[in-house]
Structures are given as C-alpha cells and as structure tokens.
Amino acid sequence: MKRSIGMKSSYVLTDKSVDYEITKTSAGNFALGYESKNGLFVVQFYGRSDTDLNSEIKNWIHKYKRFKFFYASSPKSAFVKECKNYHAFAKGKIDNKTHPEKPKNADYDCPYCH
C-alpha cells in the first residue's frame, strides 16, 4: 500500500480549491493522490515548483483527485524535500519514475544520492 504523508490536510484537486488554498506565489512541494475508504490520503505522486506552486499543481488536475502542499523558503529547499520524498518512497510505490531534476542554474545536487 502507498504511504500517507504529514503535509497539511488534503484537498480536492480542482482549479477552485487550488486557488483557495494556495494563495501566495512561492516555491513549494506537493503530493498528489486520493483518499482511501478509511479517510487516509494515499500518495501517488510527489512534485515541486521552484516559482509558482499554484500553477504547477494545476497541471495535474485531470490525473489525480486530491493534493497536499506546503510552501518552501527557496527552490533549493523545495528540491531537497522532493529528493527526500523520492528516495524514501519512489521505489515502485509511486508514479514518479525518474529522480527529480535540480532547479535551473543550481550549483548543488541531491543530498541523498550516494
């Protein structure tokens, strides 16, 4: 079974709910998925935005049912969090098939790759 995560509550993935919940233009992270019969959020995909979390999540409206998110203080912190989630959960358990790409012009790499 796919794992639940500790971000904010999950929300229905629609334009209206994204606009209502994500009110500032910011880098950030998100998880996409569905709610199980017992009410747990089940993650199917992890992602991030380096600049506009609201806009990025809207790209996934027709593929997933619910979302969770949190703002990041910088593109680097969003990248590091996405890498952490990828390494912790991606091994065939979520839809992410490739390692997250680092932000453009970044002079750092994934801290979890060895």
State how far Cα 86 lies from the chain centre.
Answer: 10
**Amino acid 76: pLDDT:** 96
Q: How far apart are CA 98 and CA 104, in angstroms?
A: 17
- 60 — pLDDT class (breaks 50, 70, 90): very high
Q: How far apart are CA 48 and CA 56, in angstroms?
A: 8
**Amino acid 89: pLDDT:** 80
Q: What is the pLDDT of residues 8-31, one digit of tens each?
A: 579 999 999 999 999 999 999 999
**Amino acid 8: pLDDT:** 55
Q: Which long-range contacts (CB under 8 A, 24 or more apart) does 103-106 make?
A: 103/50, 103/75, 103/76, 103/79, 104/50, 106/75, 106/76, 106/79
- Give the HSE-up count for residue 90: Cα atoms under 13 Å, Cβ half-sphere: 15
- 90 — pLDDT class (breaks 50, 70, 90): low
Helix (H, G, I), strand (E, B) or coil at 71: strand
- 91 — pLDDT class (breaks 50, 70, 90): low
Task: Determine how many CB atoms are found less than 10 A away from the CB of residue 106.
Answer: 12
Q: How far apart are CA 30 and CA 49, in angstroms?
A: 8
CATH of 11-89, one of 3.30.70, 2.40.50, 3.40.1440, 1.10.287: 3.40.1440
Give the pTM.
0.88
